[in-house]
Amino acid sequence: MKFTLPQLEALVWVVRLGSFRAAALRLSITQPAISVRLRELEQVVGGALFQRGSYRAQPTVLGRQIAWQAERVLEQAETFEQRMAGATGLAGPIRIGVADTFAMTCGSRLMREIETRHPGVQAELRVDFSVRLDASLRGGDLDIAVLTSPTPDALVQVRPLIDLPLQWVGNPQRLQSLAGTGRRRAHGPADIAHLPIVTNPSPSNLYFSIAEWFQRGGVQPSRLITCNSLGIMARLACDGTGLSLLPVGILREEISDGLLVIVPTLPPIAPHEAAVAFRQDFPGGGIAQLADLIKEIAVDSDLAHYRPTR
């Protein structure tokens, strides 16, 4: 008797999820079918793959060894399938989630490149906060996402993209209230707390970065104005509605035209780390090609290269 790919797939998912039932749900088969596949595989390898009587599916030493080898075999099978699929490797509907930052700077190019390189793809684009994209990806409601701070998950592969530097920006006239302390010097949370702050609402990562920065300074901003669009936030800042903390990569025109200026502040705010993450159970290997395309676009964009000096 020889092993089969479905047997190896059953083993890998039971080890990953720690449950026969969870693996059966993931593979859309019955739990008895999982058990049959594993019993057949045990006959092939000549030993037990899981400990008997354990609450969770605990692999034996042999089970761990075979599972590791099975991962490699499935990876090779996926690569082979991708090559056999031809140059495109992708077809049908793909649910793509992107954070606002990426959507504003790279979304149009991504859609054009998908149309050119993967004409069989029907892209379903969702723009949302990274926190929500992360939950949707782990829950299986998205196939791939561009986001910051993804949660580690056995079912999701994460690839780092680029850092997103953040800067406080505002309208030059609105910032005249800082003149008494010298606008050219670095300002702390207490120096700008009296100004309205324009931010994403909770639970966005930008909101938490702002809240943590003021908390470290021992103050609270006098007024928060929340908005779920970075583009509108930038416009509100340009119009003098308030200060905003934004990724500088989306602000080339506003800063070049003098509509916004950077407010030097201390302590610095750590950049957000952008990543592309995708479901490892997506059928075929083409989803990795899409991740490669997203990285290509990101590293070639203003998000990676634009660093204003004023």
**159, 293: one domain:** yes
Q: Which of 84, 110, 128 is the last residue of a domain?
A: 84
Model confidence at 7: pLDDT above 80: yes
- Rounded to the nearest integer, the mean pLDDT of the chain is 88
Into how many domains does the chain fold?
A: 3
**Domain enclosing residue 130, as ranges:** 92-163+272-305
Q: Which of 21, 56, 84 is the last residue of a domain?
A: 84
Q: Are 6 and 17 in contact (CB under 8 A)?
A: no
Write the CATH number for 206.
3.40.190.10
Mean pLDDT for 50-73 is 86
The pTM score is 0.69
**187, 150: one domain:** no
Q: Are 89 and 118 in contact (CB under 8 A)?
A: yes
Model confidence at 175: pLDDT above 90: no
**153, 290: one domain:** yes
pLDDT band at 132 (very low <50, low <70, confident <90, very high): very high
Q: Are 194 and 177 in contact (CB under 8 A)?
A: yes
Model confidence at 238: pLDDT above 50: yes
Residue with tokens 């793959």, as numbered in its chain: 49
- Counting Cβ atoms within 10 Å, is residue 222 exposed (0-12), middle (13-18) or buried (19+)? exposed
Contacts of 135 (CB under 8 A, 6+ apart): none
What separation, in Å, do the N-terminal and C-terminal C-alpha atoms of the chain show?
70
Residue with tokens 């793909």, as numbered in its chain: 94
Model confidence at 119: pLDDT above 90: no
